[in-house]
């Protein structure tokens, strides 16, 4: 079955420290991967995507993600966390259904950045 | 703002009521989506419309009825809901949903639905 796993319900980081939010996937064929962020009382916002090419993808707000095919992972990273990065983060993978794209989302990881 | 608006933002309804959720996108996209977000559960895709045609119905109960009159508007009609239907309902849009396109989706702020 095609799926996305985010093994951590919550990640706690001190402001200024690097952060990593983990994601692993299981898909048939080439993986197309996405990260979204959800702030309180808001919808999801697109951060970045991996389609092909360079394994390190840069996105919005200083975030980047590293695609690792052998480990089937797509971890989200940021060199220096801000308190304002505190939010819910979702990893997603594209699957095909009847010739159309749809996204399968992980359960989400809550990131808490402490001053 | 993402260019996707949803109304109402909050809705409380009884199990015998009929109500509708509205979504509008101002991005010129051709695909629109309904998702259900419940606490402690992954986002659940409910329906997909591409160029106004429904391409996905993810085994959603018939008490949820979508309508897509044009590429900019999407409705979710609700009737005889159950308390377990209480959730955040998110609308999203993308340029296209066909297999050859890999466009990201843009989400609205959601409608927080409570069924009493």
Q: Which of B38, B40, B105, B109 to mutate to test the interface with A (most CBs of A within 10 A)?
A: B105
Residue A98 has pLDDT above 80, yes or no: no
Interchain pair A43, B40: CB under 8 A? no
User: What is residue B101's predicted lDDT score, i.e. its pLDDT?
Assistant: 72
Interchain pair A46, B104: CB under 8 A? yes
Q: What is the mean pLDDT of residues A75-86?
A: 97
pLDDT in tens, B57-81: 888 999 999 999 999 999 999 999 9
User: What is residue B1's predicted lDDT score, i.e. its pLDDT?
Assistant: 67
Give B15→chain A minimum CA distance, Å: 25
User: Are A77 and A55 in contact, with CB atoms under 8 Å apart?
Assistant: no
At B54, give phi and psi (nearest 5°): -75, 125
B111-115/B10-13 β-pairing: parallel
Please identify which residue in the block is written with the tokens 């259904």: A97
Contacts of A99 in chain B (CB under 8 A): 98-99
Q: Write down the mean pLDDT value for chain A.
A: 93
Position A111 confidence tier, pLDDT thresholds 50, 70, 90: very high
- Measured CA to CA, the distance from residue B79 to residue B82 in angstroms comes to 9
Interchain pair A34, B104: CB under 8 A? yes
């Amino acid at each position: 079955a095609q799926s996305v796993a985010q093994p951590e319900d919550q990640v706690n980081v001190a402001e200024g420290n690097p952060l990593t939010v983990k994601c692993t996937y299981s898909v048939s064929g080439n993986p197309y991967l996405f990260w979204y962020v959800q702030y309180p009382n808001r919808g999801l916002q697109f951060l970045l995507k991996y389609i092909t090419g360079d394994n390190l993808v840069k996105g919005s707000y200083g975030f980047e993600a590293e695609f690792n095919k052998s480990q089937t992972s797509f971890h989200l990273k940021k060199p220096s966390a801000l308190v304002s990065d505190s939010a819910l983060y979702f990893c997603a993978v594209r699957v095909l259904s009847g010739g159309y794209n749809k996204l399968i989302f992980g359960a989400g990881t809550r990131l808490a950045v402490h001053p | 703002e993402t260019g996707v608006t949803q109304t109402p933002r909050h809705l409380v309804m009884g199990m015998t009521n009929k109500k509708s959720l509205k979504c509008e996108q101002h991005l010129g996209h051709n695909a629109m989506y309904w998702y259900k977000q419940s606490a402690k559960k992954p986002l659940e895709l409910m329906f997909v419309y591409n160029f106004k045609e429904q391409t996905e119905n993810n085994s959603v109960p018939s008490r949820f009825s979508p309508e897509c009159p044009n590429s900019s508007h999407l409705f979710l009609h609700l009737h005889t809901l159950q308390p377990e239907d209480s959730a955040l309902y998110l609308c999203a849009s993308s340029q296209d949903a066909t297999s050859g396109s890999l466009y990201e989706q843009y989400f609205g702020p959601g409608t927080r639905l409570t069924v009493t």
